[in-house]
Structure 1
Amino acid sequence: MSVRRLSLTARMALMFMSVVVLVLAMAGLSFNLLSQHHFEELDRQALVEKLESTKHILGSSPTFEEVLPQLHALLGAHQDLAAVILRADGKALFSNPGAAELPERFRHADWQNMWEWQHDGHLYRGMTTQISMMDQSEPLTALLLLDVTTHTHFFETLRRWFVVGLIISALISAALGWVVARSGLRPLRQVTHIAASMSAKSLQERIPLEPVPLELQQLVLSFNAMLGRLEDAFVRLSNFSADIAHELRTPVSNLMTHTEVVLSKKRNTDAYEENLYSNLEELNRMSRMIDDMLFLAKSDNGLIVPQQAPIELADVVAKLLEYYRLLADERTIRFSASGSGRVQGDKLMLDRAISNLLSNALRYTSSGETIAVTIHQMESLVRLSVENPGVTISPDHLDKLFYRFYRADPARREGNPSNAGLGLAITRSIVEAHKGRIWCTSAGGLTGFHMEFPRQT
């Protein structure tokens, strides 16, 4: 099984075990090296002391025979110590049994260096030095050997036990790591359990932050925020489905009623023609609604790609005001337009967006009032505002006005037969497709819709 397929608990336990094994291995290796160095220094010190004592004994006596008892006492009293003293011609003046087979190459070794020799399963460390004596014309060569086999056995035993201890420590650390990781990840499992139990009926629930560790709080906050977005989207989708059924029910019901009435008895050609015209009107309304819904569906999926052409907003506004002036004159409503600004975009789409705002303003403006259209060109943006006097809209409704089929007054769900409640949603989609933004303000009996677009460079 690859590491990627292991659980998070198993990975953390393996990492914990690896760290413990690595630390113990480094500690054991360091201890082994330091111990060997320490024993080497002790052996060197012992050999140096014996050689210095030998030099002192030989240098203070006129003849070699006089110092033999002292040399036996100094060099023969230790079981692990062997020594040999040679003349220049190679004849041994003093020798212990353990040094009898010492290779000749060590006779010329450097006095500063400690050498090693393995013989018959034993390890020896030794040193060589030259000693001057009164009755000898040439210096004597003294070689001292120290049997350090016990040190070797000690380190072998130490390494053996260290390997056993390392294996046991690895197993124990893996088990402890598993327990610690499983305990530490318990809040994550709780979050996962809550997330797995979520459904469309429980989107309003949130994961509490109190029992969650600090490291997981940001994850929980993000998850709760996602639940909030999902809940909002689900509610809007549910309302959208209900509104679609509600909006389509009226024209379908009208079609069925008209058709049933006409078919209830024989009628003349004029009656049938009148009924067909009435049905055509309802079908046109349904067709417009379906086209608007398809436009919004394309916008939601990023399929609306506006053309890029320079547009003077003042010209677009002037043309639309001329179109709506006849309807406004019937209700004695006036228009005022001011400002100018150039943007980059799709003229047909912007015509539709501004037309939706003007149509909406006409619908809710009382007779004798004035609808103001202003264009303000800033350093990097162009803002277009459509403001009309009317009933102040509650702040709770301002952001929801751009939802599909949403109306601020629930009592007027039917609205105008030609109005399906999709105009502002389409306007927002067009503005966002042009990388702009739209918002609504309403205070003091004045309601305004404001659109901002990047300025043409």
Structure 2
Amino acid sequence: MSWLRRRMSSLTARLALAYGLTTVLILIGVAAYLSSALESQLEGHADSELVSEVLRVRHLLREVEGENEIRADTHRFADIAMGHEGLILVVRTRDGEPLITLNPRNETLPTLRVHAANITPDRGMLESWRPRGGAPSRALAALGEVGTTGRTVEILVLSDAGSRFALMREYRGQLLGATLCGAIAAAALGFLLARRGLLPLRRMADDAAAVTTSRLATRLDVGNAPEELRELAGALNDMLARLQDSFTRLSTFSADLAHDFRTPISNLVGQTQVTLAQRRNPAEYEALLESNLEEFERLSRMIENMLFLARADHAQVALDQKPLDARAELDKVAEYFDAVAAERDLTLTITGTATVTADQTLLRRAVTNLLDNALRHAPAGSTVRLAVLRARPGHTGIRIANAGPAIATEALPQLFGRFFRADPSRRNSATSTGLGLAIVDSIMRLHGGSVTVRSQEGLTEFELLFPDGMAFPKSAP
């Protein structure tokens, strides 16, 4: 049974079975039609023979001189029944005296309506009767004139349809055998055709099975695939492309993660080993703890940021979206950075006003990340500009611009990737985790908005685009 279940799970076997069953139904329909047509033809032929037998007997009766000649020359009438299996012929006087009796099985004769001698018999005059232990049969009774005497006798012609029914049973048996053989042959042929027809699908499966982490660039051959499979092959290729991109980003993320975790951990281990190599005074231990605290804080920020990105990727960050005064939110964030800006000899300006629909905490976090990025890269003595504007119908934009060197064009598409830093010299910065812009991108995707960047010599602009209206919050499942 398990073998049968495994075989029936095969698409080839299912197609072959469906093809075989369809063929069986068609052959059964054809066989039923042929059987019915043959039986109807045989029945019609038998009925016509009965009518013809009556006419022949009438003809022979006209050629005799009297009833005695009929008794003496019975072989002339017996010849009529030759070659007609199951035919019963009885000729008798009007008083019931038998003149000719051809009834091999001594069947009990039914009572039949006798038609006049001047009426030409036809199939509509036939009556039904049932022989002893036999099948329904047909009979006809009519009067016939004897020579020129003017006397008439009764002619009874009956057919035993048993032989015809036996013939039909044998014929139906042969049809059934032919139908079964045809169905088996059709199923076998269907299996071969289905197996051959599904060969491109098996090749596609083999190609897909050959895809591994080291061969993610492998693609299915769409050009040689049948038309019905091209859409599937194209969808699988698109899926492989997405997997390759995700795997590449995951590999890069893992490498960057290991690199960025290694730096603070190496600092912690190195500084601690050096300090513990010999006895130190309390001030030195205190300096070590302060240094270690900075590294721990950096690790804590990195872990917190990565957890946020992981939850955002799975839509597990609950949003409390509501209409906010975008200008007021920028004022609060700028107030927090006033001291940092003054320390770096930078000026903050805010322009524009509008209402934005967003989660207040996440909005401030996105703006904080962008403003922190702008302050770190803006040259001393320059101005960092924050602006609220109606960027396009149905959207509110928040733009943050700073002066400074342009970001390389090839780096722009990767700018919102995790652990990516456009400035390699700042790769090991203790103040940057390389996740700030990735968090901004995740926040905007949670809001159904987007973040864009434009950079040319002397000016870099980041713009957050929030759609208007209350969105349904994305909450943890």
Q: TM-score, normalised by structure 1?
A: 0.82
Gaps of 5+ in 1: none
1:256 aligns with 2:262: no
Counterparts of 2:300 and 2:286, CA distance in 1: 20
Q: Check 1:444–1:395 CA distance in 2 against 1; reply closer, same or farther (3 A cut).
A: closer
Summarize the alignment of residues 377-456 of structure 1 with structure 2, pairs less than 5 Å apart: 381-393=395-407, 396-409=410-423, 411-412=424-425, 414=427, 416-434=429-447, 436-442=448-454, 444-445=456-457, 446-456=460-470
1:23 to 2:26 alignment: yes
1:34-91 CA-to-partner distances (Å, cap 9, x unmatched) read: 1111222223334445557888999x99x9979989x99799624225444677x763
Where 1:112 maps in the other structure, the secondary structure is helix
Structure 1 range deviating more: 415-424 or 119-128: 119-128
- 1:158 to 1:442, Cα distance in 2 relative to 1, 3 A: same
Q: Which residue of 1 aligns with 2:283?
A: 270
Partner Cα distance (1:121, 1:450) in 2: 99
> Does the CA contact (< 8 Å) of 1:371 and 1:388 recur in 2?
yes
In the alignment, which residue of structure 2 is the partner of 1:91?
96
Residues 336/346 of structure 1: CA separation in 2 closer, same or farther (3 Å cut): closer
Give the direction of change, closer, same or farther, for the CA distance of 1:203–1:413 in structure 2 (3 Å limit): farther
How far residue 397 of structure 1 moved from its aligned partner, in angstroms, is 3.8
Percent of aligned pairs sharing the same letter: 30
Tell me which residue corresponds to 1:103: 109
How high is the TM-score relative to the length of structure 2?
0.79
1:322 equivalenced with 2:335 (yes/no): yes
Call closer, same or farther: CA 1:108–1:312 in 2, change over 3 Å.
Answer: farther
**SS, match of residue 387 in structure 2:** strand
2:419 is paired with a residue whose SS is: coil
2:326 to 307, 310, 313: 313
Match of 1:338 in 2: 352
- Quote the residue 2:138 is aligned against: 126
- Identify which of 147, 172, 188 aligns with 1:159: 172
Deviation, 1:340, is 1.0
Q: Distance in 1 between the 2:395 and 2:111 partners?
A: 95
- Compared CA separation, residues 97 and 243, structure 1 to 2 (3 A): same
The number of equivalent residue pairs is 451
- Aligned residue for 2:118? none
Question: Residues 78 and 413 of structure 1: is their aligned pair in 2 closer, same or farther, counting only changes over 3 Å?
Answer: farther
Q: Does 1:37 align with 2:50?
A: no
Higher alpha-carbon deviation: 122-131 or 249-258: 122-131
Looking at structure 2, the residues matched to 325 and 141 of structure 1 have their Cα atoms a distance apart, in angstroms, of 134
The DSSP-based 3-state class of the residue aligned with 1:77 is helix
Q: Is the 8 A contact 1:131 1:139 kept in 2?
A: yes
* Paired AA for residue 376 in structure 1: R
The DSSP-based 3-state class of the residue aligned with 1:403 is coil
Letter aligned with residue 252 of structure 1: I
Structure 2: runs of 5+ lacking an equivalent: 116-121, 472-477
Contact 2:200 2:226 in 1 (8 A): yes
Cα 1:276–1:155 change in 2 (3 A) is same
Deviations along 1:214-265, whole A, 9 cap, x unmatched? 2222222222222222211211111111111211222223223333443455
**Aligned residues of 2:390 and 2:396 also touching (Cα < 8 A):** yes
Give the 3 Å change call, closer, same or farther, for CA 300–73 of structure 1 in structure 2.
Answer: same
- Check the 8 A contact 1:334/1:368 in 2, yes or no: no
What amino acid maps onto 2:382 in structure 1? Answer: G
- Tell me the distance in 2 between the aligned counterparts of 1:104 and 1:218: 76
Q: Helix, strand or coil: the match of 2:41?
A: helix
Distance 2:275 2:218 in 1: 53
Task: Please tell me whether residue 77 in structure 1 is matched to residue 83 in structure 2.
Answer: no
Residue by residue, what CA displacement relative to the aligned partner does 1:407-442 show, whole Å, maximum 9, x if unpaired?
A: 234x335153211111122222223333x1323242
Are 1:131 and 1:142, in contact at CA under 8 Å, matched by a contact in 2?
yes
Structure 2 residue 211 is matched with structure 1 residue 198: yes
In 2, Cα distance between equivalents of 1:86 and 1:311: 119
The residue matched to 1:404 in structure 2 has which SS? coil
Q: 2-side partners of 1:393 and 1:331: how far apart?
A: 22
Corresponding residue for residue 294 of structure 1: 307
| Distance verdict in 2 for CA 1:320–1:68, change over 3 Å | farther
CA RMSD of aligned residues (A): 4.0
The aligned residue for residue 373 of structure 1 is 387
Q: Tell whether the 8 Å contact from 1:357 to 1:449 is kept in structure 2 after alignment.
A: no
Contact between 2:397 and 2:463, CA under 8 Å: does it hold in 1?
A: no
Residues 287-315 of structure 1 show CA distances to partners (whole Å, capped at 9, x for unaligned) of 11111112222223333222354433332
Q: Report the Cα distance in structure 2 between the residues aligned to 1:394 and 1:114, rounded to whole angstroms.
A: 106
Matched, 1:241 2:254: yes
